[in-house]
Structure 1
Amino acid sequence: MRIIFIFLLLFTIGCTKVVKESEEILLENHSVETLTINGQSFEIIPVYDRYLDYVLDVEKEDADRNESFLEHVFLSFSEEIYGHSYYEQDEFYFATPRNISKLKETIKLLDEKIPELLISIQKVLENATFLLPGEHYPIYIQPYNPDFNSYEMSGIVGITMPNGAIVLQIDPRTFQEDLFMYMVAHEYHHAVYIDKSDWRFRKSDLLNDVIMEGKSDTFATLMFPETLVPWLAPLSDKEKEIVLEYVREHHNSFDYNNTYILFIGSRTQGIPRWSNYKIGFHMVDEYLKKYPDLAIEEWTVVNAKEIFEQWKSE
């Protein structure tokens, strides 16, 4: 059942436009906007001006791209989020963009799309904060790396940082609003889970990573049951058996490579891509069928091992 909820929203929009020029590029929607919803505050922070600084720098013949991207984008972002300049530096979503002309076009189109994105984020958070109250979270808007194919993910990558900050990387060319709204709900649940559970006080193993994704997809699916999500395409019975056995074998592993195999898939092992999402969603769904009266706030913080115990004998 799709949830429709209208709640009082204080939507603060700055009147002053920040304009930055790079040849024909004018950034007109760069200012930080604040949403206050159900007593929670969300700063919506576009950071593509930093990417534009990178573009301007590498257009110089003597600029080193990796060093320039670190200086203009990653280091400042990491300092802002964590207070230091090394966390997640090697993650693929912060890889140095190489296609400069396409990156410039992405920045331009993304800047034009910000007003539309703000409306969509507002709609999602009105319902999400009502269903599952949380804290105050910054939401960063960044351009999708143009070196990567964005069609498979409909132009959207979502990341929730360990401090609860949400990062949305967007390719306006392949953007789909319904999947974007689903992604915002998914990442919001991650942020609340980090705050409300014991996540910050323990080292996360494969099982906890899988269940965390399953919980967030369950929450987002409750909000958007009609949205077709590429990473939740059902596993076949044979695939499910293979993936379940893999999780049984590695459930208490702290080696990220084991989780990564579920994410990227393994043809030799018969593991499809995005199996961590698929099997996590399946496990949480099976658990909630047995405990249908659990409130969202309750199952959000249920220990992963408790969910694991419900299905490991399948």
Structure 2
Amino acid sequence: MKTVGKVLLIPALCFMFMGCSNKEPVDKKEQETPITFSQEEQNFEIIYMYDEMQEYIDTVREKTGKSNETVFIEKVFEPFKKKSHMEDLSIRYVFDPSSEVDKLGESIKELEKNKDMTNRIIKEALLKSAKELPGEDKKYIIMPANPEDTFTVEQMGGVSGFVLSEDVIVLQLSPSMQEDMLKYTVAHEYHHLMAEESNRGMIRTILGGVVLEGKADAFAHTIYPKIQAPWQKPMTPEEKERVIAEITELRYSDDMKYYEKLRKGNSSKGIPQWANYKIGYEIVQSYRKNHPEVSIGRWTSMHEAEIIAGSDFEKITAYE
């Protein structure tokens, strides 16, 4: 996924919280302390926002007359901005408050039951990732997936994520999440953070986004070689040819709607779903095969044109 405002954002959405009314009851649940750990000099935080989401649910149920969005901003989004240190963040860019509060509440109950397992998986994936590619301190903010977001449940293994800044990731989890996809997504998103850390301020194009996703998948596959993401099913030769033609035409555009069409696919053009991920992964793996001496850190920081030029897909950026 990617940095808000700088890169092409992958699926985001969703939210919830636990116990509390505006009357501040005596038995109000204290906010959970972030989970912290380290890999040598690199520090990590895992921050859950299940409580804030439950408070959103409880307040909506009280029928205060406020809109769901107003309640969400007050109970979830404002605390989120403080915890992420993104005070200027716009809710319109990253979140869509759910109106299905009963389903949200059930999701939180299930996620709470599995929190120990979730912690173990995230910690394991981060430590493995940091061992391969160390960097600066990172923070993972965990939120329940919006029950209206069937895409995450049905096609993402119950896990989705996006980069908020060069040191903050947001993960959105469904009770149906698959352990393997959680591991893989943590590693994938970690690489996005490291790519942003090594290329601060880089302006992204569609071609840059394609290679960025390819790098993240190549890295996650290095950490977890036996896990296959939903989008890694190989393309047919015909599909690959059409996808290459499409990204060659759009390569220097920074228009998000074209990038989103690559992700969704276009049957009229013979372009499969996840085309940006599929071709990006092939490009980066081709580069790595051709240049096995290049370290993970080196190709992580490389410009997309250099990666493509050193792969078997050099015609994408070749001059006509």
TM-score when normalising by structure 1 = 0.86
Change (3 A) 1:218 1:28: farther
Given the alignment, which residue of 155, 158, 161 partners 1:155? Answer: 158
Equivalent residues of 1:76, 1:85 under 8 A apart: no
Unaligned runs of 5+ in 2: 1-16, 22-27
Q: Where has structure 1 moved over 6 Å in runs of 4 or more?
A: 26-29
Question: Is 1:165 aligned to residue 168 of structure 2?
Answer: yes
Give, in whole Å, the separation in 1 of the partners of 2:212 and 2:67.
Answer: 38
Equivalent residues of 1:30, 1:111 under 8 A apart: no
Give, in whole Å, the separation in 2 of the partners of 1:87 and 1:273.
Answer: 29
Question: Is 1:259 aligned to residue 274 of structure 2?
Answer: no
Give, in whole Å, the separation in 2 of the partners of 1:201 and 1:169.
Answer: 26
Give, in whole Å, the separation in 2 of the partners of 1:298 and 1:282.
Answer: 18
Q: Deviations over 1:180-234 (max 9, x none)?
A: 11111111111111112x2x22311111111111001001001111112102221
Matched residue SS, 2:45:
strand
Give, in whole Å, the separation in 1 of the partners of 2:223 and 2:247.
Answer: 28
Q: Which residue of 2 aligns with 1:306?
A: 306
Cα distance, 1:133 vs structure 2: 0.8
Equivalent residues of 2:136, 2:167 under 8 A apart: no
Give, in whole Å, the separation in 2 of the partners of 1:239 and 1:185.
Answer: 28
- The percentage of aligned residue pairs carrying the same residue is 32
Aligned residue pair count: 289
Give, in whole Å, the separation in 2 of the partners of 1:79 and 1:30.
Answer: 15
Q: Which residue of 2 aligns with 1:15?
A: none
Give, in whole Å, the separation in 1 of the partners of 2:211 and 2:122.
Answer: 25
Cα distance, 1:138 vs structure 2: 0.7
Q: Deviations over 1:254-290 (max 9, x none)?
A: 1111111111222222222211111100110111111
Q: Which residue of 1 aligns with 2:119?
A: 118
Q: Which residue of 2 aligns with 1:291?
A: 291
Q: How does 1:76-155 map to 2 (within 5 A)?
A: 76-87=79-90, 89-91=92-94, 94-149=95-150, 150-155=153-158
Change (3 A) 1:87 1:204: farther
Q: How does 1:197-216 map to 2 (within 5 A)?
A: 198=199, 200-216=200-216
Structure scoring higher RCO (CA < 8 A, sep ≥ 6) equals 2
RMSD of aligned Cα (Å): 2.2
Cα distance, 1:32 vs structure 2: 1.0
Give, in whole Å, the separation in 2 of the partners of 1:227 and 1:294.
Answer: 24
Matched residue SS, 1:34:
strand
